[in-house]
Amino acid sequence: MNNSAVLLPLAAGALLAGCTSISPRYGSTQSEACKATSEQEVAALFERWNQSLQTGAPQKVVANYAEKSVLLPTVSNTPRLNAAQKLDYFEKFLKDKPSGRIDSRSIEIGCNTAVDAGLYTFTFASTGAVVKARYTYTYKWDGSQWLITSHHSSAMPEK
């Protein structure tokens, strides 16, 4: 028997053994300590974000997002991939004094991750406009706080 015939099954076995240490959800290692959380704590993350809108300070809103995160906003066609791009978006968005309200939601919790998806309504105090939209927030525990890793929002297509 040649060496490659012996090494190939050993290499495949080692590769498969390595895969068993990876969680199929979110690619986290099983040895990673998972932050205990609840649906109520995850729901409160939207309230934290919404309260940062009320300050009128775009930097406070952007502080809710992880450094490596994606914002796909309701009223812009441009994906916002870094803090400067998010800041640019929220400088414009906050001018109309938005306030959000969750209409319905579904929360899923993983190891140091959470997803909050559903429907929300925004009211804009300076214009009186009301916009109903769909949303998805994904969060990651960074060791000290929950931060948004992706945020997608789109206006409801049916009027």
Phi, psi dihedral angles at 23 (to 5 degrees): -75, 135
Mean pLDDT of the chain: 86
Residues 40 and 52 in one domain: yes
With 90 as the cut, is the pLDDT of residue 81 above it?
Answer: yes
3-state secondary structure of 90: helix
Give the pLDDT band of residue 59 (cuts 50, 70, 90).
Answer: very high
Alpha-carbon distance 30 to 150, whole Å?
23
With 60 as the cut, is the pLDDT of residue 29 above it?
Answer: no
Residues 72 and 139 in one domain: yes
| The pLDDT value given to residue 31 | 58
Phi, psi dihedral angles at 91 (to 5 degrees): -60, -40
Residues 43 and 115 in one domain: yes
Range of the domain at 18: 1-32
Residues 26 and 42 in one domain: no
Residues 57 and 89 in one domain: yes
CATH number of the domain at 83, please: 3.10.450.50
Averaged pLDDT, 81-90: 98
- Using the structure block, give the residue that is written with the tokens 């969680």: 23
Q: Tokens for 152, please give them.
A: 């997608």
Tell which wins on pLDDT, 30 or 101: 101
Averaged pLDDT, 30-52: 92
| The pLDDT value given to residue 75 | 86
C-alpha triplet 62, 68, 74: angle, nearest 5°: 55
Residues 10 and 26 in one domain: yes
Closest to 118 in 3D by CA, of 36, 37, 41, 43: 43
Averaged pLDDT, 62-82: 96
Please provide the distance, in angstroms rounded to a whole number, between the alpha carbons at the two ends of the chain.
Answer: 71
Residues 58 and 21 in one domain: no
With 90 as the cut, is the pLDDT of residue 51 above it?
Answer: yes
Q: What is the pTM of this model?
A: 0.79
The number of domains in the chain is: 2
